[in-house]
């Protein structure tokens, strides 16, 4: 049975949404699209795609053949791509998505991510897991909502069950990349992973979450892992993450 998401305030908000004309969660302009996407077309048009050129492996923007982000990643983490930059506009949308009780924002985010799947093998989609405590508090896993929206649009299989979050890592707010990796070491467990898969998460900050999950999945039998995220923090990464955590938290916290 599908569980209720959030408490009475969230249910009342959803009822209000059903009764009143749709308006954008971000700018409050009326939405005239047939299926209420929660975020209006004007706000969506203000999302900035991650610029080219990018590192062919980790998707970090910047020129040059060497990359400081992915040199020590697990060998079989084949590629990571993100759709848009994490800036003021997308940070606000992610806040609605993760902390505002609006899992259906995933539909709008998936529209930006779906073109990235065309470059990847036809492997199942697997959301990054959040801890049971976080799932109880939030009522849903935002990465699972995004993965489900992507599966619905792409026809790819959704693989939910083999990745688990072992424990809730401490806040990553003031940590650099190496400290984030240490903070997330052994954060995930997995079993019976498919050989090839595409991980899905909402935000890429330093890659610590994806590499930690990838290591657990390799131990469980995966041999080729790709990943897609909606947004990507621009360097300096810690500063971008801190902006997101001033009123909420980073993806790598949960």
Nearer to Zn ion, 45 or 246 (CB): 45
Q: How far apart are CA 194 and CA 223, in angstroms?
A: 8
Token pair listed for 191: 């079993």
Nearer to Zn ion, 107 or 169 (CB): 107
Total residues binding Zn ion (CB under 5 A):
11
Tell me whether strands 196-204 and 188-190 are parallel, antiparallel or unpaired.
unpaired
Site for Zn ion in 40-79 (CB under 5 A): 40, 43, 55, 57-58, 67, 69-70
Nearer to Zn ion, 58 or 106 (CB): 58
Give the binding range for Zn ion (CB under 5 A) out of 26-34, 116-124, 155-163, 221-229: 26-34
Q: How far apart are CA 112 and CA 146, in angstroms?
A: 11
Reduced to 3 states (helix: H, G, I; strand: E, B; else coil), residue 85 is strand
CA torsion 138-139-141-144 (nearest 10°) is: -160
Residue 29 has a CB neighbour count (10 Å cut-off) of 12
Bridge partners, 54 (sequence order)? 61
> Which of the 8 DSSP states describes residue 207?
S
Burial of 233 (0-12, 13-18, 19+ CB in 10 A): buried
Nearer to Zn ion, 24 or 120 (CB): 24
Is residue 177 involved in binding Zn ion (CB under 5 A)?
no
Residue 157 CB, nearest approach to Zn ion (Å)? 28
Give the binding range for Zn ion (CB under 5 A) out of 6-14, 18-26, 157-165, 185-193: 18-26
Work out which of 6, 24, 82, 101 binds Zn ion, going by CB under 5 A.
24
Work out which of 12, 15, 27, 152 binds Zn ion, going by CB under 5 A.
27
Nearer to Zn ion, 26 or 180 (CB): 26
């Amino acid at each position: 049975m599908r569980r209720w998401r959030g408490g009475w305030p969230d249910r009342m908000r959803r009822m209000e949404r059903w009764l009143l004309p749709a308006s954008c969660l971000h700018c409050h302009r009326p939405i005239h699209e047939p299926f209420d996407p929660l975020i209006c077309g004007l706000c969506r048009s203000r999302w900035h795609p991650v610029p080219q050129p990018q590192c062919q492996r980790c998707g970090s923007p910047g020129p040059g053949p060497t990359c400081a982000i992915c040199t020590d990643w697990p060998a079989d983490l084949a590629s990571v791509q993100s759709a848009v930059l994490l800036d003021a506009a997308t940070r606000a949308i992610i806040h609605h998505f993760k902390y505002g009780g609006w899992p259906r924002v995933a539909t709008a985010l998936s529209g930006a991510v779906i073109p990235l799947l065309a470059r990847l093998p036809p492997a199942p989609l697997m959301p990054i897991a959040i801890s049971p405590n976080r799932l109880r508090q939030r009522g849903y896993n935002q990465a699972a909502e995004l993965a489900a929206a992507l599966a619905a649009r792409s026809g790819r299989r959704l693989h939910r069950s083999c990745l688990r979050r072992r424990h809730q890592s401490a806040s990553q707010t003031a940590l650099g990349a190496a400290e984030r990796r240490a903070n997330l070491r052994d954060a995930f467990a997995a079993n019976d992973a498919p050989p090839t898969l595409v991980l899905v998460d909402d935000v890429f900050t330093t890659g610590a979450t994806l590499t930690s999950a990838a290591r657990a999945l390799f131990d469980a039998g995966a041999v080729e892992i790709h990943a897609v995220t909606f947004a990507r923090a621009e360097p300096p990464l810690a500063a971008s993450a801190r902006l997101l955590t001033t009123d909420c938290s980073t993806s790598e916290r949960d």
